[in-house]
Chain A
């Protein structure tokens, strides 16, 4: 992969990051509703509110505020919560591991089920296993995640008492409990991803299996499993990997419904709570983090894709 290619991509990245940060800032600062009222309550005096406005720089012009905010953000200072006075970066640091763990578990689950199923389905397309799994995937996609979460809680927590309905234990405290508390949320989150991965990989595999080089591999007398794993799976996984990578970026803050439902102290839950409390600063910080994470994930996936597929790699070199 050439340095020039890398540079070009980096250069494209910067304006996007700028635009994203500007949008985060603008969005929340242009909305109606006076934060001072939200913080001090409706009985606050004019005086105290004016003082607060000055403290929070709300009386300065917009571009100046954006510049200050951006400057602080880059150095890691995302302001302090209006409500709890806790530095946003602190809160994010605390909550990031929770979200990441949930995210990783859900993707692992999804892949662990999707890959073998897709292989089996592609081996015998349009037979029973294939039809059943494709149909189920289709059905799974139709279930909104909050609905699935409620259903899983009902079945496994309320009825069967297998897993806790809500709550979270840190990994460092009790690894077993930690995993137990994450099973239902991970399944909820992973279900939709599972469906997407399954459909994608199955179709890709079926197309690959019809290629001439598969017939050639057969003619060499190689065993089926080897042909599948070594020859068929490899080209088919490219799109899978890119989608999985993009999902990682998307889901860092996007799992908030699941976090809310299962009372997990993650970034998504923080975002939701802050929105309810009109805690602008924190919301700005989390939106910025999530958006930047997504853009960076996109960027990495793009680079990685060029690295994975040797045809692309050499074309760009």
Chain B
């Protein structure tokens, strides 16, 4: 079946999924606790797609992604609290604030840092993560609303899943369009061979900075949503361990595969919860095994499929048709 049909089918499928979940939530099969987890999975999808652009598609090894999520969370949270008398407009505005703040910082940091190669870039971004973390611990000196080590409370909470789902879908469509545009192709060119790309006229510096900034904008959006999903924002949610979580999602999903990132992000969020439920059913002494099992699963999956679960695979309806159509060939064009 042709691409258009596939795409329409996909969109319909997405709408149906949303409807099903909406019904399950309304009748109460999915309680508030699982709604939070569903929302969390959407946040990881958005943040994960951000890192996917930076690392999966452009090959820039960033170990500080959670810092940008955190910047988005704190800026958005501050905005939503300070202007809370504007109601929902404050929260919508805070999403924009989150994206812009994270994107701006990403741009400013990216310009000097992105000239570093691979492992060194990883270290630099990791160092940046620590700097931001430290800043968050002392944020109460900047504004008491931010809370410092004692955390930020008071961000208006929106836990309706639809908001998160729709946002994630929109982000996904935008990312897909970016990836298959000339900008996206420039990114993959840089990832494959920077020098060759340069020779053909793709500017490494501009492409890398653009990809990094876009990735950080998405991280900021994820962070802004985070602030509205959890009643307590504290620096520990944005430590380098969290950056590693994003890295795991992107790599395990398959570098350069959006489908992979999305499915792995959702699966990962649920895996941890399923492990928790399953182990607590077995008994209180088994809860400690959660970390061990998680680690084992991680190692086994990556050894069995080093390219990632969806490495090199993209849902076919996403990939645009390139080249001549059958009809053109038949007509002798």
Question: Do A and B truly interact?
Answer: no
Give A residues with C-beta under 8 Å from B.
Answer: none
